[in-house]
Amino acid sequence: MQTNETCVIVTGGAGLIGKPLCDYLIQHGCQVHIIDDFSNSDATNIDERCHIHCINLTNNEQTIETIMNIKPTIIYHLACHPYEGLSQFCPHDVSMTTYIATVNVVSGAVKCGTVKRFVNYSSMARYGSGHRKDNGEIIPAPFYETFIPNPEDVYAVSKVCSHFITNEKGSRRKNCRNNV
Ligand SMILES: NC(=O)c1ccc[n+]([C@@H]2O[C@H](COP(=O)([O-])OP(=O)(O)OC[C@H]3O[C@@H](n4cnc5c(N)ncnc54)[C@H](O)[C@@H]3O)[C@@H](O)[C@H]2O)c1
């Protein structure tokens, strides 16, 4: 759990889930840095104590530079364009904002060297219509994190890839742990 003055980055901190998360962290005394490009949100009602960095996370250099300047202890990575249906028609946009953005944020976390915990927001979409057992039987929701991913659209594929890149980078660093 966070302690006072913990420096935290929330990507997508202006969004539906990000905003109340930032409020919670501020209430618990954290120094909160929001990285968001406001492509699916605006700055209305963001607590004025949050530091706002208007960055498009698909930009590798800007993302890494921003994270290295902030030097966070914890990163909550929420940002993406979370649209399963749209992803079938705009695979490039959803893959960039979901998978490539995650690659960039994880790279920043590793290079920065101060991150103790990396919380990657995934989605139940990663399990598709359900967990497929060896005998072919499909187990529907509720899902467990031990279930084998079974993505059925571009968004879900991007989320599964984001999980794997976070694990891959995190497993090589003592300073970077993954929670999905
Ligand atoms: N809302 C749900 O029911 C739900 C369910 C499962 C998982 N999730 C996951 O939780 C996370 C947050 O979801 P949400 O519902 O708050 O989404 P949201 O669209 O409300 O918030 C996402 C935020 O990310 C920002 N963003 C998008 N692309 C960006 C980029 N390239 N650079 C910088 N900022 C960018 C948007 O401007 C927005 O503020 C997502 O990762 C989503 O997949 C949400």
Q: Where are the domains of the chain?
A: 7-179
Distance 75 CA to ligand 1 centre (A): 15
First to last CA, the chain: 16
What gap in Å lies between CA 46 and CA 96, rounded to an integer?
Answer: 25
Distance 86 CA to ligand 1 centre (A): 14
Strand runs labelled E in the chain:
7-11, 31-35, 51-53, 74-77, 117-120, 131-132, 138-139, 178-179
The CATH code of domain 7-179 reads: 3.40.50.720
Which residue has a Cα nearest atom 15 of ligand 1? 16
What's the distance, CA 95 to chain centroid?
A: 13
Please give the chain's pLDDT, 180 residues, in tens: 455 579 999 999 999 999 999 999 999 999 999 999 999 999 998 999 999 999 999 999 999 999 999 999 999 999 999 999 999 999 999 999 999 999 999 999 999 999 999 999 999 999 998 888 889 888 889 998 888 899 999 999 999 999 999 999 887 766 554 444
- Among 22, 34, 39, which residue has the most ligand 1 atoms within 8 Å of its CB, making it the best to mutate? 39
Distance 79 CA to ligand 1 centre (A): 4
CB 77 within 8 A of CB 102: yes
What share of residues in the chain are helix, strand, coil (percent, to 5)? Answer: 40, 15, 45
What gap in Å lies between CA 176 and CA 180, rounded to an integer?
Answer: 13
Ligand 1 site, residue 13, Cβ cutoff 6 A: no
